Structure 1
């Protein structure tokens, strides 16, 4: 009898274990880097950081060629022009190319810590200081961790983070600054509809992956009634106004859109409460353990290697990125099996291609990232590792 395919969450989902204590204490995070404002997404935080930097019309912002397309619209919203710089084959910043592309109109350098692994921040900070550039530290993949004994996020003039990549919440991001005060950044609530959406979507995502079964059974009927009532309400609002405004930003549903109306909006109370109560020690310890387990499962497999073969002390990964010789064949097999995957930067800003940066195009094509978050169960992690081995052995046999 075939083993049923598990429905594995690609991102953390709420469970009873989310709040259990873990040994090792509280890990450092971007929240320790400086003043913090908790907003609805990382891309909104990028726009707010650029605004705080004074970036405007006629300015240029250096953006990595290896990027999510959601990173670019905040630059355009400020009236600035994105200039794309190259990265190395290991996703490190190519400072020689950054220097070549720095001109009189360059105001800021955006640096991304891919998959949770910090860049060489001391060298990048010195580069920016020598040229009068402001540094925007993109910690969307790197909420927790340290570099040379300092929390991630503390090297930039400003830093941004995406809390929903690390905590079991539906929405959330952070604007942080170690060098500038954020007293002038005043956040306002987004209303009861947004608050309800943030809480209920978090719970429903948890229920859909088999977590919190008792609460799921208790709320099943009320949630069905809620769905029916909300469908009716949306249809009425759409009929009256021609369109129904979304209760939450597109980023919460993995969309790439940038919606300026969410700027200066506070993250939902439910999300902030989960972040305050969740065991951060557990998050860091399990993500590291799961990363090492997946990297070990990939060791020695044909046509596969970890992008980051060593997990340094202080690094808390977002995903486990693996580099494949034949990514398409593996992707098709893993996707058909139901393994959740991330192909970061597979879609990039129009015009950013191999001519812009050969390594960006290579990594976007060849890297498949497996989940290593703290809410994976041991049997789910073992199943993912088994599917990876099976997919690569089938491919090797076919070759």
Structure 2
């Protein structure tokens, strides 16, 4: 029997093959440094000058609990449903594809190039073969796609463009903020702000009157606030507040342990699984508004400071890790208007290096580690290569200079030690 193309598989079959229980992560120790921004007093520092461009500059913005929820709501606004096809990148995480399955549509995976830009020729071929309703384009790691070309492509064919800014909350291209090129755009607040949950749906071209959101309740609001504060405590931030709250937090933890022990059956989650790095998509959060804490932080945190420090930290990692044997930065330069999510490093022997760094408590992650079932080298060799070989290191604004120096030392030591 010949190999079945992803485009030939019915939506129900794809849904059945979805990642219900991804491989359990290895029991590595908690990283010494925060992978994402951790709340500290420095989070509230301001920098003079204009704010960095952002998806928040769009005409219409709705604040939701995660980027995957925003994708689902965008598809709903587009009228995507059974019988429709959505062009999606072959380099992805499961949370980008699950909303397409939820909508009843068929995901059709297109190729990307080694530098993560879309293969426009492959998109054109696939768009001519089926009923494509929408195209999802991802600005990987904060580096923009050829957005003018994608906008023209979609306009010529009457296709909706969904701009995925989960990695690019800040940035601009062609004189416009990232997020303004798509009919709809989504972002993930958790990757850029010191918050426990959050995402947004935005549009510079359409109204979002049909997106009705409501509070997820006082339990949700309290959990988000406390988890954000506790995450700061865990990484040595807010020491005075931690001392003052030691007794109340101990009482809270004891009470919560009693409550959980007395629960019978499955109780509704107080926060979405995305906040803890889960793969699943839960439609129950489609009508829930992001917490008040997260929405306030989006206003209080300086976008200028965030952008400048991310670029500075990225350059520091680039200078320190370029030229090492068996690896190279994924991107050759840091263009103006790019405010990176992380620093991606392309490695020849990624698995051993990943394990060694994890054991050393280095905050290393792997985006796209688990591709959708059926997406292999025959679908896109570059995507498989990137999912296997790219390791990412944080460059966010809440990292301290000594923490970056320690991380660089650990990474350089591991790479150079492997070549001796």
Gaps of 5+ in 2: 1-29
Residue 380 of structure 1, CA deviation: 0.4
Which residue of the partner structure matches residue 88 of structure 2?
63
- Secondary structure class of the residue paired with 1:135: strand
Counterpart of 1:14 (choices 22, 34, 39) is: 39
Aligned-pair distance for 1:327? 1.2
Shift of 1:104: 3.9
CA distance in 2, matches of 1:385, 1:104: 48
Report if the CA contact (8 A) 1:33-1:152 is conserved: no
What does residue 324 of structure 1 align with? Answer: 347
Deviations 1:65-84 (A, max 9, x none): 00011111111111101111
- For the residues of structure 1 that align with 2:111 and 2:380, how far apart are their CA atoms? 5
Partner of 1:26: 51
Alignment equivalent of 1:98, drawn from 114, 117, 123: 123
Q: TM-score, length-normalised on structure 1?
A: 0.96
Aligned-partner Cα distance in 2 for 1:322–1:34:
35
Whether 2:318 is the aligned partner of 1:292: answer: no
Pairing 1:126–2:152 present: yes
For residues 216 and 355 of structure 2, what CA distance do their matches in structure 1 show? 40
Match in the other structure for 2:257: 231
Residue number among 318, 333, 338 corresponding to 1:315 in the alignment = 338
Cα distance in 1 between the residues matched to 2:266 and 2:187: 31
State how far apart, in whole Å, the 1-side matches of 2:373 and 2:54 are.
Answer: 33
2:64 to 30, 39, 51: 39
Counterpart contact for 1:329–1:395, Cα < 8 Å:
no
Query: Match for 1:141 among 167, 178, 185?
Result: 167
The whole-number CA distance in structure 1 between the counterparts of 2:259 and 2:349 is 48
Normalising by structure 2, what TM-score?
0.91
Aligned mates of 1:39, 1:329 — CA distance in 2: 37
Paired with 2:171 and 2:407, the residues of 1 have a C-alpha distance of: 25
> Which of these residues, 85, 106, 111, is aligned with residue 137 of structure 2?
111
Distance in 1 between residues matched to 2:416 and 2:83, nearest whole Å? 53
> C-alpha root-mean-square deviation of aligned residues, in Å?
1.2
Contact 1:295/1:309 (<8 A) preserved: no
Residues 350-389 of structure 1: CA distance to partner in whole angstroms, max 9, x if unpaired?
A: 1111121100000011100110000000000011111111
1:371 matched to 2:394? The reply is yes
- Residue by residue over 1:51-70, the C-alpha shift from the partner in whole angstroms, topping out at 9 and shown as x without a partner, is 00000111010110000111
Is the 2:31–2:358 contact (alpha carbons within 8 Å) kept by the matching residues of 1? no
1:358 aligned partner: 381
Partner of 2:208: 182
1:221 Cα deviation from its structure 2 partner: 1.2
Corresponding residue of 2:101: 76
Aligned counterpart for 1:49 among listed residues 74, 95, 98: 74
Distance 2:396 2:159 in 1: 34
Choose which of 166, 170, 178 in structure 1 pairs with 2:192.
166
The count of corresponding residues between Structure 1 and Structure 2 is 390
Looking at structure 2, the residues matched to 267 and 328 of structure 1 have their Cα atoms a distance apart, in angstroms, of 36
Structure 1 residue 33 displacement after superposition: 2.2
Whether 1:387 and 2:410 are equivalent positions in the alignment is yes
Partner SS state of residue 267, structure 1:
coil
Within 1, Cα distance between the matches of 2:358 and 2:223? 29
> How far off its partner does 1:34 sit?
2.3
1:6 deviates by 7.7
> Aligned match of 1:251 in 269, 274, 280?
274
**SS at 2:370 equivalent:** coil
Alignment partner for residue 199 of structure 1, among 213, 217, 225? 225
Which runs of no fewer than 5 residues in structure 1 stay unpaired? none
- 2:20 matched residue in structure 1: none
Q: The residue matched to 1:196 in structure 2 has which SS?
A: helix
1:347 aligned onto 2:370: yes
2:136 alignment partner, SS class: strand
Matched, 1:280 2:280: no
Does structure 2 conserve the Cα–Cα contact (< 8 Å) formed by 1:59 and 1:81? yes
Deviations 1:192-212 (A, max 9, x none): 000001100000000000000
Q: Which residue of 2 aligns with 1:89?
A: 114
